[in-house]
Structure 1
Amino acid sequence: MENFKMIAKTFFGFEEILAQELKALGAQEVEVGTRAVSFKGDKGFMYKANLSLRTALKILKPIYYFRAINDQMLYKGIQGIDWSSYINSNQTFVIDTTIHSDNFKHSQFVSQKAKDAIVDQFREKTGVRPSVDKDFPDLRINIHIDRDQVSVALDTSGASLHHRGYRTATNLAPINEVLAAGMLLLSGWEGKSDFLDPMCGSGTILAEAAMIACNIPANINRKEFAFEKWNDWDNDLFDQIIDALLKRTREFRYTIKGYDKAPSAVSKAKDNIRNANLEDYVTIEQQNFFETKKETEGPLQMVFNPPYGERLDIDLERFYREMGDTMKQNYPGTHAWFITANLEALKFVGLKPSRKIKLFNGSLEARLVKYEMYEGSKRAKFQVNQED
């Protein structure tokens, strides 16, 4: 099978870890862009990337590039593709368009013009035309216009890859699965210690942490990918790749635990962990984090998504102060990471972060911050050394 170029889309701040994921999977010619990483691989690798990548939102397969400064050039360019290679006249398609150009103002207009070009090509050749289906198309086409450069790609994934397939129940403002996985990978989580999410909501961070720890493919529970409707779909190859990926899962010897003080969140989180077949690795309890202490010996990794005030009506100053106090007093030997879009509130934690990484949670600019709690204080360690 021959290699071709693909583009994996991601969130701002995750480009480097997505590139690392791709290299570890065996991608060729990996190149980092903005919110995207390009690479090369064959059809089997396309299946593997969709199944495995934790920080990709979509994987596109570019098929054609051309220049256009007006709608006539756009129409002609789209007609330059032999669409019968990808769909037949009784199938359906949809077009998603993104634009960074002064020549084209409306993505809807571009999609409409491109649709006309495709439909007209079929009508002229066969007298029958494929129709548009926005919900369950046989082919998802992606058009990207940057100034006068038009790139046409096939969407290999379909619905965004954050739809993992395990989360049926969500709590208020759940965290996106790709964002959760990216935070975990940025935090260095590899499953080599105990893990705690002290405000677990519907359990997304816990599920992603368990899948990373056990090397379970991120999208193994997903119902379908767009490429399964393509003319060259190879079911046997797909099954082989799933088998090969599942042989690479590993045992996990530590604990992954989640707390939430809301009974509704706890029951939803348990449902989602069960859907993901991860009950053997994850335990969830109804607890108020501020009333808990570290239960395990040795290093503990904590990753969580505290409320922002954007979503919940709380006294942020008091909440963040209690967060800092609880970590400092009750969680020695812990590396704690959390994301917040409320940069003011960080002042109240009362601890100095050892790292700050800029990310976006939806449209909100956020920071992923790290706090290190030592066994005993740094000062105590220093005094012991002085007395030796």
Structure 2
Amino acid sequence: MTRPQLPAPPETGLNTDLATHLPHWEEIYRDLHAHPELAFEEHRTAAVVASELARIGGWDVTRQVGGSGVMGVLRHGEGPVVWLRADMDALPVREETGLSYASVEAGLMHACGHDVHVAALLGACRQLAARPDAWRGTVVAVFQPAEEVGRGAQAMLDDGILDRFPRPEVVLGQHVGPLPAGLVITRPGAIMAAADSVRVTLYGAGAHASAPHLAVDPLVMAAAVVMRLQTLSARLAPLTPSPLLTVGALHSGTVPNVIPHTAELLCSLRTFDERTREDLLTGLRRVVRAEATAQGALQEPEILTYDSFPVTVNDADATERLLAALTAGGVRCEVLPVPLSASEDFGRFAVAAGCPSVMYHFGGADPADFDADAIAALERGELPSGTVMNHSPHYAPSDRHAVAAGARHLLTAAGAWLHRHESAEAPRTA
């Protein structure tokens, strides 16, 4: 069977000669992948970023922004200020990809592709510095820490980046996913969900496993809570898009013959508007407290919301401009009918700056891995059967295809704002 290929965009403008330098950025990606770091601990990654920007030349580099973030500024004449953002942190996931450059850090993995984002932005930074003839304005490269916990963007804002660095007229961000390289998906308006993590601690009364009548079993209580919580989001399923409530962890006990004192639930809540978010949080609290009371808990449960993400909203005009540039550059673009249920803190930058922003998702997989059935599924708006998603211990973007696509897309997107106008190229005539 002949496998369909998505066309490679032409190497023009800012992308000229990018291919020559891609092996270096692919090696940077492999190095970063092998050395993942958790939120606010991205010190090695930040050092690599700063070293590469210094090697490229022309960039004003500032480290330790918002903790472990890095800001790079490149000025080239009058023109717009464009921020390009890449997140840097990894996840507490044990890698199972079998890659030759798999993580050497026990229990840590770049399971979300942030290593691709960093390498791609560095590749774009090199092109911008090397091709001043192709653009005008100011580019700010934002290497952000701690996206996975939803606090990195705010930490950089709290560190004064809007006052310390050129203020953006547009903020552009991208995220790699399990799509064929050459495909970009986005939409105007809400593009990604708001998210809240919720920690629930249930208090029982422990006892010997042989005497459950003397205990208030927090595990039984937790099991009942898990089942009852499913009804909250199920009742809202007709909403489009539907909110999601997932219990991702249940921790309790240590040995089989002891009924523990406490149980802990970790929940993930994803919504697309503030009213639904408040309704679900209120419902969660009601269910947890009612079940604890029904089972005779000796203490009120603790319910803590943390690691919250806002809804990511794309500016409509900026999204149209970006899609037009990518399409003209030979990139296949699809407009999503509804937002994605994943979450980002990227939108905080534009909200704080009062400017438009656009987040888009791009394919980081080898197109040759997608047969006709897989392509047909994508055209129906579905993921092919067996797709390995971000955050999986098996998720592995193609080192060759993902970095190349990410760098090209960033340059093409940025070029939609940074292109040299004719009036800037030639003197006016009377």
| TM superposition score category, shorter chain reference | under 0.3
Larger RCO of the pair (alpha carbons < 8 Å, separation 6+)? 2
TM-score normalised over the length of structure 1: 0.25
